[in-house]
Amino acid sequence: MGVFSRISDIVNSNINAILDRAQDPEKIIRLIIQEMEDTLVEVRSSAVKTIAEQKDVERKIERVQRECRDWEAKAELALTKGREDLAKAALQVKNRLAQEIGLLEERHHQVEDGLVKQTEDIAALQQKLADAKAREASMVARHQTASNRLKIRSSMYDGRTADAFLRFEQVERALDELEGKVEIYDVGKSGNIADELAALEADHQVETELAALKAKLARTDQ
């Protein structure tokens, strides 16, 4: 199914609007370019035929003009020979040829006008085709960029990456547990030292009190 139905559809088309409405812009832009290229080939082929027809009409005009001049010359010759009847007949042929020249010249104008229109169509189609190809290049670049980003995102969140993160978290948890054991050991060790210091202080106090008591008793005995 085509996007355009006539050359005027292409020339007057808004490619951006068409792509905005499309469900698959890349597919549509390729279809647009293909239709434009096919249409351009057809228009160029038609223009070639028009040019050929133009040259053919020009040759016919030149031929009939020569015949017209020849019959006029024959009419003059007949008059010089006193044959007015032949001169009259020759002029009648010349007039018919002149009418034919008029018809051929009218056809020539029509062909020229058609060729001008075809030339304008070719120029407009070429411009539209260039615009479409530029859009296609931009869309391909955007698609490539998006595909690369999707590939990177997919690689980040696929099963292998998830497994790697899980193993990394397991290692971290194991290290946390190991560090916790070290900290618990240090905490226990610090508690033992404190207890030992407290015991030493208590012993020192007892010994001090014992020495004081001994000294008091010694004074009493005296």
Q: What's this model's pTM, rounded to 2 decimal places?
A: 0.55
CA 125-129-131 angle, 5° bins:
120
In our burial notation (b when 16+ CB lie closer than 10 A, e otherwise), range 41-69 reads eebeeebeebeebbeebeebbeebbebbe
pLDDT at 13 over 80: no
Choose from 3-7, 101-105, 142-146, 162-166 the range with maximum mean pLDDT.
Answer: 101-105
CA dist 57 and 101 (Å) reads: 10
Nearest one of 185, 121, 72, 221 to 177, comparing CA atoms: 185
CA dist 72 and 96 (Å) reads: 12
Residue 1: per-residue pLDDT: 42
Identify the residue with better confidence: 129 or 148: 129
Whether the CA torsion 123, 127, 133, 136 is positive or negative: it is negative
CA 171 to chain centre: 47
CA dist 185 and 179 (Å) reads: 10
**What angle do the packed helices 84-157 and 159-221 form, to 10 degrees?**
30
Identify the residue with better confidence: 151 or 61: 61
CA dist 55 and 45 (Å) reads: 16
- The counts of H helices and E strands in the chain are 5, 0
Identify the residue with better confidence: 181 or 206: 206
Burial of 31 (0-12, 13-18, 19+ CB in 10 A): middle
Identify the residue with better confidence: 69 or 195: 69
Residue 184: per-residue pLDDT: 58
Q: How confident is the model at residue 55 (pLDDT cuts 50, 70, 90)?
A: very high
HSE-CB for 133 with a 13 A CA cutoff:
9
Helix (H) or strand (E) holding 161: helix 159-221
